[in-house]
Structure 1
Amino acid sequence: MNKRAFSLRRRLLIILFPMLALGFLALALSLYDTRDELRRISLSLQAEEIAHDFQTHDFLDKLPRYYADGEMSYSLYNAQGGLLQISDNLDSPRRLRPSRPEDELALFKLPQRSGNIVSVSVTLSNGDILMVAKRDERERELIGALLQARMWRSLMLWLPFCALGLLLITWLVHWTLRPVRQAAELAATLGPAQPELRLPVSELPTEIRPLAHAVNQSLDRLMQAYEHEQHLVADAAHQLRTPLAVMSLRLQTTAQAQQKDWDLLRGDITHLQRLLSQWLSLARKQEQTMALPDQTALAPLCRRAMGELWPLFEQAGRELQFQDDSQQDIVQASEMDLAEAIANALDNALTHGSGTVTLHLHQPQPGFCAIDIIDQGPALDEETASLVFERFHKQDSGSQGAGLGLTIVRQILLRHGGQAFFLPGSRCTLRLLLPLDTQAQVASDKPGV
């Protein structure tokens, strides 16, 4: 089941709504706390005026019971916090909480609820502290109504700004993603007819460039694979043309002569089968992904490959020898692929070499193991040693080979991190070089292993 497609623009708009709502909620809470702040500041100014002529030896009854439409109450403390007096309309003193009007102007402070009665402190000339409390129902209602009206006016301004913000974000997303749309239009035109086209990475937003790089790299690999397929099909068609023409000519000759040369036809068919088999094997080796490699011991693998080809060497009157000088022969590789590579290398020595063929297993350098296939023929020159690994290249055009054996050998070795090449010298020597399995080497070095 396909996942539902999503729109980046829709997601941004969905995120914007709760952000704006949270902003408006923060504004409302701020205005709600502002009401009590204004009440305390107003009472601080009134308390300073009330206590202006008050002396510490005076009784609190001298202070006004009502002030600005609000009932007043008082509690007097000394500088050490000891209670001195309370007004008659109080059953218990107001809690001592020194405060200043400037405290309400602090940039960061915790909200302080005042309830129906708001209280502030006034420091007298001798250091005593007078707590002044007021039931300011009228002022609280007026300030609350003022702030509520301010909040609704803010909301009326907030809604158009929200709409404008939505339009701006919609336009911004559309403008930001314009290069992406252009890249998508360009990607729709990519194909074999224009293999050089790539996504314009420099014109895309920074956040999308890694994706564009990955797409371009994928396109490079696809185009390489496409070109490889074209070359492979063209080479195969070219190589199949000659044997098919020979078979057609033999059939015409057979029909005209009224006799059937089955041996020659069987040889032609065998040659075609061998060509197609190796061609398909090469195509699979170049296309398939590398599976998890196995721990493969080379010495038993070499002996098994020699055993399979021994009858062919015996039939040709050739001798096949094995020399094992390796101390470590475990590699991380596919046993089936390596067996095919060794068999193709031995078959190449049987077809194009001469005399005794020696398969020499040894370690030419630390961390690597080599399989040298040595015959008694002369060494190849540098140019020929490079050409023999090309597809359908045959050193002897009259041989029965398809010209793919060494190409398959090299492809298998490269896929396993190794190399296949001919050594200079007096005798023809094909070296298959593979990296050793370091984990197996460490395990073999442990005591008791």
Structure 2
Amino acid sequence: MRRPRRSLLARILWWHAAAVLLTALAASASVYLFLNATADRFERQTLRSEALAVRDQVAARAAGASAPASPGDRTRLEAAGLGYAVVDARGTVVLDRLPAALRPALRIARGDGERYLTRRSRRAFYAALSVPVTLGGERHWIVAVQNLDHPANVVDDVIQQFLAHAALVVLPLLVLLLGVDALIVRRALRPVRRASALVRTVGPARPDVRLAAADLPAEVRPLAEAVNDALDRLTESLDTQRAFTADAAHELRTPITLARIRAEQVSDPALGAALKRDLDALGQIVAQLLEIAELDSLARVPNAPVDLAALAEQTVAAIAPLAYRRGHAIALDRPAAPVMVSGHASFLARALGALVENAVQHTPSGTSVTVEVSSAGDVSVTDDGPGIAPHQQDAVFQRFWRRERGAGGGAGLGLAIVARVASIHGGHVELVSRPGQTRFRFAMPEPNDSR
């Protein structure tokens, strides 16, 4: 099973976070390398200056000043973490001002030119520069060394800790940047979310809804235009289907009427009665098809004040003779005051009639049907028949659905009409059924709602 892809916002933030993080790491590494190279250059200049000063000092002594370096010179070197030594061509240290921890630096002496390196030994981290000089006509090397771990040397410590401290700065900035990005992207995608909400309203009741492609970002505009084109084709197909249903139903009414007249002339009473029953059932199906076609053509019905309680009373009165002939008891429970709703009285009457007739026709003789009107604008039709199986309850409002396909008694359009009437009025139909009781609840919007 293919995993669903992340949202566009998540993908943008993910890639942007990766790009910003890589950029921050690259920038930090570049700055670190630059600072490290700069520190090495300054370190080398410092050591060269120290080596040249030692050369001048040794040359002056060779000219006649044989006194050792002054105590202040050693104190200065120790305070700066510096040291030096002079090595002759045989490798003999002729002048030693190196602390013991820095003595491994003597290994770099006796090169053809200047040699500079930084190295960490077991006792110290140091930078060393070997400078070849000529003293007294002989080749010597002055090795100047600085202890980089010495407290006086803060530049190297700053560089070493740069990346760690940079991370403490970069990570909060990255989080802040992603938060700002989320706000920006959400704002940029707001027209897309509005378009998505609009598309969710598309349906048989609102086939004319279209997206305003000009208001969408350029990247999404082709998709919106394609959706609009698809909706145009679907609407055209739906209109063709509705027109065909209505035309077919209209064309069938006349032949059915003529056949009904001819059935009256059949000499065999039993055959004539059977033909009339079949033609009556066929006429009812045609009438329901016309109702479906009429209801499908409406997105919203004209609103007018309707007394739902009075309408239910008229419906019960009209169906009561049929209920009594079938051996049912029928009762009405309604408030004394009118229950006013906004809607189309004729359509509402059809829906209530279909609910009550469904209860009468699909329950055994001897059962009862109760119609209850609430002041909230709901009508409930309850019967104490066998009930509807749970696996069938989701299908009862589908067109042409019947519990037993081979049985007579209708085409399965009555409850579909009820659901459609509720939908175009902004209401809904609920079904609760168990063995011994079935209850349909036709719920309208609040009374006196200005929908």
TM-based fold match above 0.5: no
TM range (shorter): 0.3 to 0.5
Task: Please report the TM-score for the alignment, with normalisation by the length of structure 1.
Answer: 0.42
Task: Please report the TM-score for the alignment, with normalisation by the length of structure 2.
Answer: 0.42
